[in-house]
Amino acid sequence: MANNDKAERRARALEIAGILIRNGFGFLVNKWGLAGRQSRWRMPQRYPRPHEKQTQPERVRRTLEELGATFIKLGQVLSTRSDLLPAEYIAELAKLQDDVPPVPYEDIVGMFQQELGGPPEQFFLGFNPVPRAAASIGQVHDALLLDGTRVVVKVRRPGIEKTVDEDLAIMKDLAEFLESNTSWAKDYDLVGQVEEFAFTLLNELDYTREGRNADRIRRNFSEDPTLYVPEVFWELTTSGVLVMEEIEGIKVGDHAALDAAGIDRHQLARRCAHVALVQVLDHGFYHADPHPGNFFVLEEPEGVIALIDFGMVGRADEKLRRTMNRLALAVTQKDVDRMIDELTSLGAMRGKIERQGLRRDLSHLLLKYDNLPLGKMSAGGMFNDLTQVSQRHGLQLPAQLTLLAKVITMAEGLGRDLDPDFDFFGFAKPYFKSFYRRAYSQRALKRRLRDGSIDLLELGLDLPQRLRHTMDQLDRGELTVTSRVELEDEVIGRLERATNRLAISVLVAGLVVGLSYLTSAFRPEGTRQFGFMFLEFLMVSGLIGGIYLVVSFWRSRK
């Protein structure tokens, strides 16, 4: 069985390499070792050249679509990582289409037999065999429950788990190979990034998790009538089948239908921004794919927003939200030093931070937005600029922050699409202030003090034992202290040149003083030949030593 798995993985790797070469990325196959690490993986040398009119970002997108479900999801995740990819790639990956031919109805019936123990007709009054939409992971069908309730049914594609497992295993092997052979892969913790992506994707394959995400967001908005979340019918939901209430509303991007229904688009823009900001700042649990296709506007009650598709969610703990809030405050106050402190605390440093250069670039960034009205500022543009500065100075911002920024940016774009005059920054300001007051309220500070006191108490209880262990090591001579001083090459060079100059100066001074003393003190009465020969020997020796040090000094400068 294990041999079959390996053979299937090799076959899939061969297929991936062929698709890469066919789309003009053969150099990656050779560079990453896909074709050479196993002789059975060697690829044909000639394939049709890619369409010359396509840009490289376009070819990347088309290649990911051709590679299938796992790589489409990877591209969708990467479309949120403006800290990793240039803007033109981000824009292209955001267009990724997940449309594939539907699964035959017979296979859907088989999935129902496997998941629920019977065909769809056993559980539904009506079930449309033609899917409403088909994607690489699953497809959606319209149905009626036995009591006549209209529902949508998500059914996972048969066999998709095996394909995803093979692709993830190949990705992990490739990440380990790159980390062993390149420095950039180590800097970005490529294996860790692949493992995080695998965790997200495997969760998305389990429809019970999507149902729980919907339930959690519904509970969070239980006292807020702004948002409506469809009901999950758990008696018919499994890891491979999800049954949810049908939403009948107007798509938020259909401006003509909104106007015909008398929906105030300015108010709707504010509600969309409200939903995003409350999820991010108040709940710390948010819908991570808020594109217009997932927003509907209900006509009854009028103007209420309905949200669908809860497969991708994000989490922001209180520490991240506090840091983000302080960073936003530093930007509005044009406090560059505070911005540096917050960015440093957010980013994993891949090297030494040159604070003066970072300070200069952040000052230039603030000048770009100086005296610009809030209504003209773009949250997405500002975050992209901030990301580029961070990258340039070796700061890798956490994935949670980039995903969170994507949600805020999409909410801003949705609001301005509904109302071009919508001032997102002005609208969001009270939300940030409210979060700040809560985060530093007396109650919150007491809670943090209590948590810190517990950590301090545990440290105090453990300290005597650890101190005794350290003293025992010291008594046995097993304690080693290593100290390392790191200096810049320029400083070391200056110190070396100064030391060489000092040595030459001492030598010359000593030679002059010594010879002067000997010349004045040496007064032979007899023959002078031996005395003068000795004096000449000393002079020549001193000159040779001086020349040697000068040559050594010159070589050290080389």
Active site residues: 289
Helices (H), 481-528: 489-521
Alpha carbons 81 and 77: distance in angstroms, whole number: 7
C-alpha of 387 from chain center: 11
User: From the CA atom positions of the chain, what is the Rg in Å?
Assistant: 34
Residue 139: strand pairing partners: 134, 155
- How far apart CA 68 and CA 16 sit, in angstroms, is 10
Assign 154 to helix, strand or coil. Answer: strand
What single-letter amino acid sits at 355? R
User: What is the SS3 assignment for 66-105?
Assistant: HHCHHHHHHHHHHCCCCCCCCHHHHHHHCCCCCCCCCCCH
Element (DSSP H or E) covering residue 389: helix 379-392
Nearest to 185 by CA among 350, 48, 41, 346: 350
Cα–Cα distance, 384 to 388 (Å, whole number): 6
CB 96 within 8 A of CB 64: yes
Distance of CA 68 to the CA centre of its chain: 22
Rounded distance, CA 414 to CA 274, Å? 12
User: How far apart (Å, rounded) are the C-alpha atoms in residues 437 and 443?
Assistant: 11
Q: Indicate left, alpha or beta for 284 from its phi (over 0: left) and psi (-120 to 50: alpha).
A: left
Check: CB of residue 153 under 8 Å from CB of residue 241: yes
Strand, helix or coil at 7?
A: helix
**What is residue 143's DSSP assignment?**
E
Beta bridge partners of 154: 140, 242
Q: Position 26: which residue type? A: G
Q: Is the peptide bond before 301 cis (omega within 30 degrees of 0)?
A: yes
Quick one: 207 exposed, middle or buried, by C-beta within 10 A (0-12, 13-18, 19+)? buried
Can you tell me the distance from the alpha carbon of 380 to that of 409, in angstroms, rounded to the nearest whole number?
A: 5
Q: Are strands 227-228 and 285-287 parallel, antiparallel or unpaired?
A: unpaired
Q: Are strands 285-287 and 138-145 parallel, antiparallel or unpaired?
A: unpaired
Measured between alpha carbons, how far is 379 from 322 in angstroms, rounded to an integer? Answer: 18
